[in-house]
Structure 1
């Protein structure tokens, strides 16, 4: 196996998005007692999680994804809300979401198909674009997720940004940040 690391394709977020989310976390983390906050450099939107991969399969999927991305254009996304995965009394994931986007949905379908066509066994859950910001709720009291605020820019408007890169990331669970760019593709 290729160094026993996990691999995944993800939308690489611009610096200003990572900075914005990190500032939000620093201002609000005391109100949301999660056990593990994600390092800001690790913020991303996963398109396809590959898991462990042999180098030969990685090379094959990288070639397929490179071919399909060479004709893709950059696109806009807008942060909109916070949410959780898991029950309110013990959420597993705390995330920042983006407004519905045909562009990211189509991009994910193409990358996902390239991975399946290469032979990867992927999670078939419906795609829900999100940026994980914390994991594992830390107290007994349930999170009042229906009261989570919307994400806005400093003037109270939408926080929009351009997506212009997709990365294949390699995990390093013993490090922080945990994810390293293995390959980067420009849109």
Structure 2
């Protein structure tokens, strides 16, 4: 079966943050029976899902982003909440959210603008920054109150964002996301 690779632009998490989330999620697996838990090396925060692409279209986007992203300044994100997408009794995506950060929204808007110039068709949904932990609820009686009962992290997790990456998806592998290009922010 031949499938075209898909691409996306994301904030990659530092390895030490991925490890702390991995440790914390082990305590969640019993209370939250999801079918598929994301490989810890695949934890990221998506800014723009691109879908499939030609090499030329990707190269155009790389050039545009390279010229714009280096102007960005680093900032911090703090992981803050558990949440879900989908039906309240049978969620399809279980995630970690981050505290509101204007610089993240500004960065996402800049990425979207450059993707549009590269003729990518992007989602129109409201940006809800999150790190996906798991997919496809398999349990019974999911309740929003379950999210408040579980303290995922005993310590506050914050990390510096000083770059974004272009990822390629390999559906047949695990981990399945490969960073193929890094866009670094300016220093300071």
TM tier, smaller: over 0.9
- 1:147 to partner: Cα distance: 3.1
Give, in whole Å, the separation in 1 of the partners of 2:171 and 2:50: 16
- 5+ residue gaps in structure 2? none
- 1:142 to partner: Cα distance: 2.6
Q: 1:184 to 1:169 in 2, by over 3 A?
A: same
1:58 alignment counterpart: 58
Q: Is the 8 A contact 2:28 2:152 kept in 1?
A: no
Aligned residues: 181
Give, in whole Å, the separation in 1 of the partners of 2:113 and 2:167: 18
1:109 alignment counterpart: 109
1:177 alignment counterpart: 175
Report Cα offsets for 1:57-85 as digits up to 9, x if no partner.
00000111111111111110011100000
Report Cα offsets for 1:134-153 as digits up to 9, x if no partner.
000012x2322233145544
Matched, 1:124 2:124: yes
Q: Is the 8 A contact 2:24 2:153 kept in 1?
A: no
Matched, 1:39 2:39: yes
TM-score of the superposition, structure 2-length normalised? 0.92
TM-score of the superposition, structure 1-length normalised? 0.92
2:141 alignment counterpart: 142
